[in-house]
Structure 1
Amino acid sequence: MTTEDLQTIDFAEGAVLLIDKPLDWTSFDAVRKIRNLIKIKKVGHAGTLDPLASGLLIVCTGKFTKRINEYMAQEKEYTGTFTLGATTPTYDLESEPVNIQSINHLSVTDIENATAGFLGEIDQVPPIHSAIKIDGKRVYELARKGVDVKLEPRKITIKEFEVNASALPIVSFRVVCTTGTYIRSLANDFGGALGCGAYLSSLRRTRIGAFTTEEAVTMETFEKVMRERKAKASDQLQ
């Protein structure tokens, strides 16, 4: 998707927008911003990214909102970092590290070889600090109130899982997985398998199906083009 494409898209008729979501934005923040800029109510995203994650967000407008579930079901690729030697209640940096442990007993080979145990179809328990609903209530809301939440494991498939452990305790990774995979849970489970704990310290979604971040535009660029488009339309009316 180029800036030239954005100049001519009929948003009301329907469009698929590839947005590079910035850090600290919720997925709905991006949708709300786009909705305000294009003045179309029918706007939705195809797969949530947490505020602490950046990368590819598919946003659909008009008739293409009917295809949101189709895009959500496609495989995804992520890159990022795990930090070994501790855990967090949220499995990421939304909460403070606890259970600090030594990683001196681990070799780089040990860490890289541990990925094999997560390849293929596996059972994964989602984080209790997630938007999954139990009896109509978000489990993260229950968890914050101290309610003992238990979630059942779900079948997911990890198609590719690579790590680079050359900068310990930081481990860089790349994962290709099916929809429904929680990378936060993968971080926590990976640390458990190593016996030292781990949490997700950065995350970027780089691909959804055939769409990649290389094709995406930043929110800053999108806003700039929409303001230029509005100004051009105003000039033509004068």
Structure 2
Amino acid sequence: MTSEQLQSGYIFLVDKPLDWTSFQAVNKLKYKLKREFKELPKKFKIGHAGTLDPRATGLLIVCTGKFTKKIPEIQDAPKEYWTEIKIGVQTESYDTEKPEIQHQDFSHITEENIHEALSKFVGEIEQKPPIFSAIKIDGERAYNLARAGEEVEMKSRKTTIHYIIDIHIDFPLVSFTVGCSKGTYIRSLAHDIGKELGVGAYLTQLRRTKIGDFLIENASEKYLDNDYKFEDL
């Protein structure tokens, strides 16, 4: 790899670790590239094509140079996630960021109930983003308002769930693979599945496995390692 290649355009498939923000991952990659390729311009272009929550892992596409123009096209591509939810309990953030609340008895829920509930979410659906999200309300991030204790009203939006497959049930945990359109909040999907079951649910694990034709199998955490060298790419 050369600095000319990076400026002409390169796509890194990063396997984002748990508890990293997408911004942190891009910044770390940019820092490492500029340290290794000192001839890169000060305003070297680099950016990611779709945010992953800190509590999610998996495929983060990072584009450099002229390939940053491809970001909108990649963002529009369908996504796939391996998902695990826990039923019978909720959290304010719809994931593991906040503590468990509202425990409910789920002993009456059967595997058939789970399959029926999941099938209802395939197709075009309406969902409300979590209040702990980066969506702006009157210029302020929703999560900042929520953390300040303000009441946040999120507007419903349409999204499409293309498929829910590979369902595995080990009560209270349910895992599955979901294919969806851009802008889908899997945290909201988990919450809504819990609502459909009548016992609540929240997202315990999320791993992005696919964006368009880009696969997690071709991604790596190594690009973020301090000792990794890019010269052999």
TM-score, normalization by structure 2: 0.91
Residue identity over aligned pairs, in percent, reads 48
> Which residue of the partner structure matches residue 37 of structure 1?
32
Alignment check: 8 A CA contact 2:89 2:199 kept: yes
The aligned counterpart of 1:144 is: 147
Q: Deviations over 1:2-40 (max 9, x none)?
A: xxxx58981122111111111111111110011011115
Match of residue 235 from structure 1: none
SS in 2 for 1:143: helix
Mark the runs of 5 or more structure 1 residues left unpaired by the alignment: 1-5, 233-238
SS of the residue 2:62 aligns to: strand
Structure 1 position 162, deviation (Å): 2.9
Q: Which residue of 1 aligns with 2:106?
A: 103
What residue number does 2:196 align with?
193
Decide which of 72, 75, 99 is 2:75's aligned counterpart: 72
SS in 2 for 1:115: helix
Q: Deviations over 1:165-195 (max 9, x none)?
A: 4311000111000000000000000000000
**Higher helix proportion (structure 1 or 2):** 1
CA RMSD of aligned residues (A): 1.8
Residue 23 of structure 1 corresponds to which residue in structure 2? 18
Aligned-partner Cα distance in 1 for 2:123–2:4: 40
C-alpha distance 139-125 of structure 1, shift in aligned 2 (>3 A): same
> Among residues 63, 76, 79, which one is paired with 1:60 in the alignment?
63
* Equivalent position SS for 2:67: helix
2: CA distance between counterparts of 1:9 and 1:85?
54
Aligned partners of 1:9 and 1:15 also within 8 Å: no
Confirm or deny that 1:88 pairs with 2:91.
yes
Give the Å deviation of 1:116: 1.5
Report the secondary structure of 2:5's partner residue.
Answer: coil
Alignment map for 1:145-164 (pairs within 5 Å): 145-162=148-165, 164=167
Cα deviation code 1:68-92 (max 9, x no counterpart): 1110110000002100010000000
Are the aligned partners of 2:29 and 2:223 in contact in 1 as well (CA < 8 Å)?
no
Matches of 1:66 and 1:129 in 2, distance apart? 29
- Mapped to 2, the partners of 1:134 and 1:221 lie a distance apart of 33
- Aligned partners of 1:71 and 1:148: how far apart in 2? 34
Q: Report the Cα distance in structure 2 between the residues aligned to 1:29 and 1:219, rounded to whole angstroms.
A: 15
Structure 2: unaligned runs, 5 residues or longer: 35-39
Partner amino acid for 2:199?
A: C
Q: Which amino acid aligns with 2:23?
A: F
